[in-house]
Structure 1
Amino acid sequence: MSRNIKSFIGYLILAVSVASCSLLDSGSDLADVRSASLESSSPSLEHCSGDPVCLFDPTSKGIFPVGKRYKTYRHEVNGDVRELNSIIWFPAKHLVDRSPAEGVFPVVVYTHGFPSSKEEATYIYENLASHGFIVVSYDGPKSSMYSDVQDSQDIINAPLDIKFLISQLEQLSDDSQGDFYGRVNKQQIGVFGISYGAVISLLSAYVPPFVDERISFAVLVAPGPFPGITTADFGADRDIPLLYVQGTNDKLVSYEGVSQVTFKNAPAPKTFVGINGGTHLGYVEETKDLMGFAVNGHIDAILCALLEEEEDFDQTGCAVFEPSMSPSQQQDLLLKISSSFLRMNFGVFKEDQANAKQYFDRVLLNSNKELFRL
């Protein structure tokens, strides 16, 4: 796929992102604005009668204020210096003193799509951090919209970036003089990625020789397509919790041709949640403001239009744009799925773990008819 085409997608998203930031810089607090938006989406509670599972809303803000640190890390791979501009999102003590809260917290390393950025899913980072997760998102050295050189083939080096970041977080936690001392739960470190980022996460979690044994869970959202990787054999001994999410109206990754095969190859324990009408671009936060480019409500029309001259892109799925889910709804559903899944497995409070599990098992599909399980 050519750099110019991919860059154009990235610059569309960047333009929306910059515009959004300029509005928020006028005095609004980013976390407070997003939290208010999430809370307004809570379901009606008239029928709950105090049932904690019914009252459980995975999109709502947790008890922790969200702290944020910007870090630039550099490491060398085969003589090439790779720069990782990163943001660490973490549970903070309180709104005034946003230093890390007391406790030991699970870690999520988030990898973005191609070409996107570390800000593509702040709705996920902020939610997880408010519920007691440390999340690190970063700009891929050759896969970010900010990269001087964009090269999808760099995917074979990208797992080393995740490995390096995990080591940096462990060092932060080992530094007795720093405020992150003892904060990282080294037994609960996982990866989360969308599209190209999901393939990198897949490699890091499952596929030899890229595997980092420290990774203990994975969330893969529409991984691929990348020939020879998404259908590769998984490491048979990687029995870590996997959440796999895929939309049925995805024009880049075939639900039947890629996702079902990849999920089938994955070792247990694994969970698949499908989104009827879900697209490929709809998970990225800024696409909510790009619907003017959609055809029949399908945001992936941007991809089809820009990739129609690419020899390696299968245009079969672009013949018809069926009515599809809006990015706002799709992001709300991904947050419900991923937040409840991660909190039921790795939540820092036992009561939250129990309520998240009951929600994921009993309520998620019943209250969101667009979702299904394999």
Structure 2
Amino acid sequence: MIKISTLLTCLLFIFSSLNAQQASPNFIFGDALPDAPELATRGNLKVGVRTIEFINKDQIDILNAVDGVAPNYDRDLKVEIWYPAALKQNEAELVMYDQVMGSLNDKDRPIVPFTFAGRAARDATPSTGKFPLIVVSHGYLGSRVLMTYLTENLASKGYIVAAIGHKESTFEDANGFQSTLLNRPKDILFVMNEILEGDHFLSNNVQDDNVGIIGYSMGGYGVLNVGGAGYSEGLAKFFSGMTGGNKSIESLTINNPDHSAMFDDRIKCIVAFAPWGMERGIWNAEGLKGLKLPTFFVAGSEDDISGYEKGIKAIYEGASNTDRYLLTYTNARHNVAPNPPAEITMQPGLHFDEYYRYAEPSWDERRINNINQHFVTAFLGTYLKAEDHSDYLKMKVDSNEETWKGFKPRSSTGMKLEYLEKAK
């Protein structure tokens, strides 16, 4: 017969083990799988994370335009910032992020809060030293914690990474598409300037002239415009039709002096995951020639949101005035950038799209995450830290022909990596 004291000891051990597993999950988004490529591994620095809010005052409230005339309002933007941190003794590099399923105003997909774990210390003390800045822009719909596998990873390698929660474009406050069309590039530049020039907890840690920008889907639409590519007159007409004649988006179009004046030479490079718009006439040859910054494009060959041959690949080919790369995941669709599906999205009875907001039909999303970490590390290291990663970025186009540099034997299949130089 088992003694009561022995039984209690066993139960306490079990409960303690369960609590330990909950506090420190075995696998967190972004952790390296056994076949992760070389540069996917986290860096040597500890990571802190903090949520801050910026307010961009007196902006055009396009959602409330009447007969083409829009009032002004203040755009409050929550920003999640990851940074190299000096952790105190026993300070855990573990955080729980708040996220939601569903979409505002969609009765079939109600808002359901949930949390997921990350490898960062909430509100930790920043490390000493100065680091390049990366600004991250999510899709429509999305959130500032949509790509924590990448944002944490980059911070561990010596970057300050700021991911914007774009007002009226997140799961929680989804609203009219015209707000995203107008505000996406403006939000990116505003947040960049606030971090580079404002008074905040990282004011002494950010390099003031060494910035990269990363965008996914509508974030890709935004970062390309910030990088010099002007939107087409087709977008201006479409936007005016949506807003009853308001023409405010013309400031972001081809050859507009206001758009030309936006270009900021502190930005050195772009990563564009599945950028939207080419198939919808948002971009054209003249506008794409305005792209002035080295760009790393990532796409799925079966992307049914942004399009591939006439979409992302056409943008890549048309941006002839800069050096650019195109990484293609064969048979992938649009979800080449986000975290993998959280466990809660797999529960029976939930709307299928909650799972397919993150998952890919032909790829393990965790595998895509590791490959993205590898190539984004190589690309940003090249253009922001003057590191030589040419062996990782210029190889045989088809990964099936030989094992790519940095990949384990037999593991680099199903991808293409193309490169085009700036036109002479």
Residue 218 (structure 1) aligns with: 270
- In 2, Cα distance between equivalents of 1:300 and 1:254: 21
Which secondary structure does the structure 1 equivalent of 2:372 belong to?
helix
- In 1, Cα distance between equivalents of 2:34 and 2:381: 18
C-alpha deviations, 1:93-147, integer Å up to 9, x for none? Answer: 2355732222221111101111111111000000000000111012111211121
5+ residue gaps, structure 2, are: 1-17, 61-71, 92-123, 231-251, 253-258, 395-403, 419-424
Q: Does 1:180 align with 2:161?
A: no
Q: Does 1:93 align with 2:91?
A: no
Residue 359 (structure 1) aligns with: 392
5+ residue gaps, structure 1, are: 1-22, 45-55, 304-321
Check the 8 A contact 2:35/2:411 in 1, yes or no. Answer: no
Which secondary structure does the structure 2 equivalent of 1:155 belong to?
helix
Check the 8 A contact 2:328/2:416 in 1, yes or no. Answer: yes
- In 2, Cα distance between equivalents of 1:216 and 1:157: 22
Q: Does 1:287 align with 2:268?
A: no
Residue 13 (structure 1) aligns with: none
C-alpha deviations, 1:276-328, integer Å up to 9, x for none? Answer: 122212532143655789xxxx989958xxxxxxxxxxxxxxxxxx9622322
Q: Does 1:240 align with 2:284?
A: no
C-alpha deviations, 1:214-241, integer Å up to 9, x for none? Answer: 3221100111136332446346565322
Change (3 A) 1:253 1:342: same
Residue 413 (structure 2) aligns with: 369
Change (3 A) 1:25 1:205: farther
TM-score, normalisation: structure 2: 0.64
| One-letter amino acid matched to 1:216 | K
> Displacement, 1:26?
8.1
2:28 pairs with one of 13, 34, 44: 34
Check the 8 A contact 2:274/2:336 in 1, yes or no. Answer: no
- In 1, Cα distance between equivalents of 2:227 and 2:19: 36
- In 2, Cα distance between equivalents of 1:33 and 1:324: 22
2:74 pairs with one of 68, 73, 81: 81
Change (3 A) 1:234 1:33: same
Check the 8 A contact 2:211/2:384 in 1, yes or no. Answer: no
Q: Does 1:113 align with 2:139?
A: yes
> Displacement, 1:187?
2.2
User: Whose helix proportion is higher, 1 or 2?
Assistant: 1
Which secondary structure does the structure 2 equivalent of 1:256 belong to?
helix
> Displacement, 1:58?
1.6
> Displacement, 1:34?
3.1
Residue 5 (structure 1) aligns with: none
Residue 268 (structure 1) aligns with: 322
Check the 8 A contact 1:109/1:191 in 2, yes or no. Answer: yes
Residue 3 (structure 2) aligns with: none
1:128 pairs with one of 128, 149, 154: 154
- In 2, Cα distance between equivalents of 1:189 and 1:256: 30
Check the 8 A contact 2:269/2:383 in 1, yes or no. Answer: no
72-81 or 223-232: which moved more?
223-232
| One-letter amino acid matched to 1:287 | P
Check the 8 A contact 1:194/1:223 in 2, yes or no. Answer: yes
Which secondary structure does the structure 1 equivalent of 2:227 belong to?
helix
Residue 338 (structure 1) aligns with: 376
- In 2, Cα distance between equivalents of 1:340 and 1:83: 34
| One-letter amino acid matched to 2:80 | I
Residue 3 (structure 1) aligns with: none
- In 2, Cα distance between equivalents of 1:115 and 1:265: 27
Q: How many residue pairs align between the two structures?
A: 307
> Displacement, 1:148?
5.6
C-alpha deviations, 1:17-58, integer Å up to 9, x for none? Answer: xxxxxx99986258x9538x624x2449xxxxxxxxxxx822
Change (3 A) 1:330 1:24: farther
C-alpha deviations, 1:217-275, integer Å up to 9, x for none? Answer: 11001111363324463465653221011111222122111112111121221111111
Change (3 A) 1:111 1:259: same
Q: Does 1:138 align with 2:164?
A: yes
| One-letter amino acid matched to 1:334 | N
Check the 8 A contact 2:79/2:162 in 1, yes or no. Answer: yes
| One-letter amino acid matched to 2:224 | L
User: Could you tell me the percent identity over the aligned residues?
Assistant: 21
2:45 pairs with one of 34, 52, 64: 64
| One-letter amino acid matched to 1:127 | N
Check the 8 A contact 2:38/2:406 in 1, yes or no. Answer: no
- In 1, Cα distance between equivalents of 2:79 and 2:19: 20
Change (3 A) 1:203 1:239: closer
- In 1, Cα distance between equivalents of 2:286 and 2:269: 17
| One-letter amino acid matched to 1:94 | L
TM-score, normalisation: structure 1: 0.72
> Displacement, 1:167?
1.3
